[in-house]
Structure 1
């Protein structure tokens, strides 16, 4: 009976969104990619410490104790593990992922790359180790290693809006929903993503990067909402959010400042802000009763226009990233 109820609610939510978006295609079910990095079996066979048994801080300590030649050897022999270990030296991860990703992201700073499934990738724009300010963009549906360009454009726009002073991370580090369907209406993929995002921010702290501001777009805001109580972040910005799986800011249980942006033309406003039988994501973060700080977004267009150069929303995002607003 519960499964039947979930199916009915999902169908209703999907129909609502499709009607409001001029016929978006219903999504296909995705299996989240989780667990240890590719190549972990060979890493363990060499007697190396279990990647799943170390915290990012322990990873940092482990690599600190290695000679440069030993680090280079691990990079050469186990690029899939080294490139995806949160807490490992940034330069080492970039070099490992240059090997693992090959031509897909040639010449770019790839902080994580997982070819399984549709592929996951994390790219860095700027000097993540030295920048005084760091921003992380967490995307919503349809973003993966093969369809990375929309996220890359957002990251480039945000960095440019800060005068290239802020290091921006484009974090497609979880399995996103495809289209609109049951995955987008439930929190299953978001829960898997929340664990990965939490560990990622712990890794930033472990290597000495600045505490980030997180910009969580669409379904990405569900990920951020579920991770909020553990995230190492100074700001959480819910953009075009279907809900954060919380009734209000207090329920997020975070010390980060919480912001919300939603423009008047965004189709997300047509999605019911409910949570029933595991479907839907709860209260609208842009609603006054949620208690988030408001980000001006009146001149943004549609669901994906918040990072458009010249918009009030992008200017506000840049100010938040740089700590220029209180």
Structure 2
């Protein structure tokens, strides 16, 4: 039994709260693989969970953090041994089991991903759920026939973590990226990541027609709502729209026309519950041909566990930029 520090979230008679606590490894959620966590990251979902402003956890208390990367210290599964470097994103972390905001974590062997050659632990958490989501979107699009020959990929919400990493990842994969963002002050930054065109969301108008002049070979939409409605009619025949976010709202209005006239496909991206075989494919790409070129630009802040509450509030107020990674323990 080992003592650890963790950012633990409660919801009981004393109210909803999260903060640093001392606990022991034998009280962590069950799993065959005990990992000393080197890094985690901060996602919007983590901020919602840590503050109680979103219903994320299924039961309490749990350690926060939907991402984790570190070194195996013990394993009852023969697939892993002491000293192996592993990572995990989603897979129930900070929802139904303790997450990555603790100096140790227990993982089921089926969700522990061996760190692929070509990535460091730190790089894997700059990617984290955000990079995994962007790459999973590209994988699903390509499996459904997407190619650079169809034309540029529009990325909405391009100033967010998924959007930034998508620009870098899609560019590495040979696509031209058109970045859509409401933060024009960040356009030079987005161009530096590889965007060939930046589109101001506030100046972007849609015709409202069920079909419009095709403009994009495909779309990665982080926004949903009216953005999703407006982008669907702009996709070329047999292009794909990968939907991975709902910042613009859950409902949307559309017609069947883009689907039955142009053969456009709408692909839902549910990264948290992705099957293991697909996870392995995504991480292989992220460590090789899709590996971002701009980790140092995208990771704008590195913090300790104690700084999480401040970062949560900044993120929820819209006052954050780039990826924040959490240095959890020295390994």
Q: State TM-score, norm by structure 1.
A: 0.28
Structure number with the bigger relative contact order (C-alpha 8 A, sep ≥ 6) is: 2
Structure (1 or 2) with the greater helix fraction: 1
Query: With structure 2 as the length reference, what TM-score do the two structures score?
Result: 0.28
